[in-house]
A = this chain, B = another copy of it.
Amino acid sequence: MSGKIRAQLIGATGYGGLGILELLLAHPNFEISTLVARDDAGRRIDEVYPHLAGRCELVVQGPDAVEAGADSDVVIFATPDRVSQQYAESLTARGIRFIDYSGDFRFTSTEDYARYADRHPSIKENTHDAPSLLGRNAFGVSELNAEAIATAPIVGNPGCFAVGIILGLAPLYRDGLVEGGLVAVDGLTGSSGAGKKPAPLQHFSHLNDNVVPYRMLNHQHVVEAEMTLGRIGASSGATVDFIPHLLGTTRGILNTMHLTLTKSMTREALLGLFREMYAGHPFVRVLDTPPTLKGPVGSNYLDLSAFVAEGGKRAVVMTSIDNLMKGQSGSAMQNLNIMFGLPQTAGLERGPLYP
């Protein structure tokens, strides 16, 4: 009746589900068919999240109470790894497209997936449940893969750290400018990326005023970053030495990335590369000043700047995003827009919340 695109949201009660729910509620072209979640099934979503009072009264359905894809044009899996894999063949067979937040469909071969799964702390089996679909999926870094995303039956939304690393380094790897393909990255992240479930690392008294480095040189998001950067344009491989730091703040990811250039460049030339690559991409802002963590929070922007050390041979690139927006639900919304031929900015006009 409404002519709107009907989206089913699976994993609706985590922070990832909440984020896309709020974007869909405000979107002119989408409507929600069902909210599905294991936790909180049977409760109204505005009881689970009281800040939704007056905005959404849908009742969360348990995964056994509703069929995946029922009465829907698209399914959004805001779920952990190895959930969407199990539904992929059935949905694809029925012609229902889907987007998945986890690593399940970020890789287009079983070999690539296995490398990721080996690194992931909570994946025990590194064989994929729907291997025949790998290759038909698209990796959802919207600015790099829009063409594939537009038509793929399955989109694998990128990891929150990976988006910022990939977009911040893509033109340099593309042009073969990174000495040895090596970059050292310190990622600073708010706690919301770890989701809604209480845990010692996210316990307020521990995390407040704290910075806690974790998964030293071993974070699974590095896999998709190294594969993407290692294969783009003139790149001959990428090694990302990555240290994630959990901050005592809620939202935001700031990546500071150090590399040696294969040739001496001015800062202006470096910034020019970024301006050229991201011209026409509405969510990438190339700034003269260093990006701040809070700059894009609440919006889908990725803020970026770059600096060159004395001598012009060593560079630092910094990117900042809202980890729950461009790092998760915002990218998902952007990809859904691309999948359905809508403007990338539809439903994503909301600016940052500052101060």
Contact residues of A with B, CB < 8 Å? 15, 18, 22, 25-26, 49-55, 182, 184, 186, 188, 190-192, 194, 196-200, 202-214, 216-217, 241, 243, 245, 247-252, 254, 256, 258, 282, 285, 287, 289-298, 301, 303, 307-310, 314, 316, 318, 324, 349-355
Contact = CB atoms under 8 A, between A and B. Distances in A.
Contacts of A206: 355
Given A199-B198, A354-B51, A211 B296 contact: no
Nearest to A52: B351
Nearest to A352: B51
A318 B184 contact: no
A186 to B, nearest CB: 4
Contact of A191 (B15, B205, B324, B352): B205
Nearest to A354: B51
Contacts of A202: 198, 203-205
Contact of A184 (B51, B258, B294, B295): B258
Contact of A353 (B212, B298, B303): B298
11 contacts: A25-B351, A50-B295, A51-B294, A54-B285, A186-B256, A203-B204, A204-B248, A213-B256, A213-B292, A213-B318, A217-B310
B216 A50 contact: no
Given A52-B351, A295-B51, A314 B241 contact: yes
Contacts of A355: 15, 192, 196, 205-206, 208, 250-251, 324
Contacts of A295: 50-51
Contacts of A216: 290, 307, 316
B251 A209 contact: yes
B186 A50 contact: no
A351 B51 contact: yes
Contacts of A209: 190, 208-209, 249-252, 293-294, 297
A307 B217 contact: yes
A329 to B, nearest CB: 12
Given A50-B295, A205-B250, 7 more contacts: A15-B355, A51-B354, A204-B207, A204-B248, A209-B293, A209-B294, A241-B314
B316 A217 contact: yes
A198 B15 CA distance: 18
A85 B154 CA distance: 61
Contacts of A245: 188, 254, 256
Given A202-B203, A217-B316, A292-B213, A248 B208 contact: yes
Nearest to A198: B198
B208 A351 contact: no
Contacts of A310: 217
Nearest to A286: B53
Contacts of A354: 18, 49, 51
A213 B255 CA distance: 11
A196 B354 CA distance: 11
A213 B290 contact: yes
Contacts of A182: 314
A211 B188 CA distance: 9
